[in-house]
Amino acid sequence: MKNKLTEAEKELMEILWTNKTAFMKDLLQALPEPKPAATTVATNLKRMQNKDLIGYKSFGNSRQYFPKVNKEDYFNGEMTSIINQFFNSSVSQFASFFTANSKLSQQQLKELRDIIDNQIKD
């Protein structure tokens, strides 16, 4: 995925996905301690704009940021990228790896099967 978020950018994006919009002061307030410098947050926001993942509206000297991509679409792209990169674009290879290596309980495996069965019916 060409617009992959860094960990610091993901933190900001999570805040924007949750709140829909946020000013710089809101973002700084929502970030966990130790809080990054405002200049660091501004740099990350600029990078996210350059990746076309966020936009902003100006209110005087302030900018209200908003996500331009929803969380589900972003993570869909991330999963597709992982499957393509590590599992030769094979969803079945990914599923086999995931179920064998994630130590899922019998109940969790049954829940996954039910989810897949429901998708097949649709």
SS3 label, residue 1: coil
Q: Which of 55-59, 99-103, 116-120 has the lowest mean pLDDT?
A: 99-103
Binned at pLDDT 50, 70 and 90, residue 43 comes out as: very high
- Reading the block at residue 22, the tokens are 């946020």
CATH number of 7-67: 1.10.10.10
> Is residue 66 within 8 Å of 74, Cβ to Cβ?
no
pLDDT in tens, 80-117: 888 898 899 888 888 888 888 888 888 988 898 888 88
Alpha-carbon gap, residue 18 to 4, rounded angstroms: 19
Averaged over 40-58, what is the pLDDT? 96
Q: Looking up tokens 């902003």, which residue turns up?
A: 56
Query: Boundaries of CATH 1.10.10.10 in the chain?
Result: 7-67
Q: Contact at 8 Å (CB) between 42 and 80?
A: no
Three-state secondary-structure class, residue 51:
coil
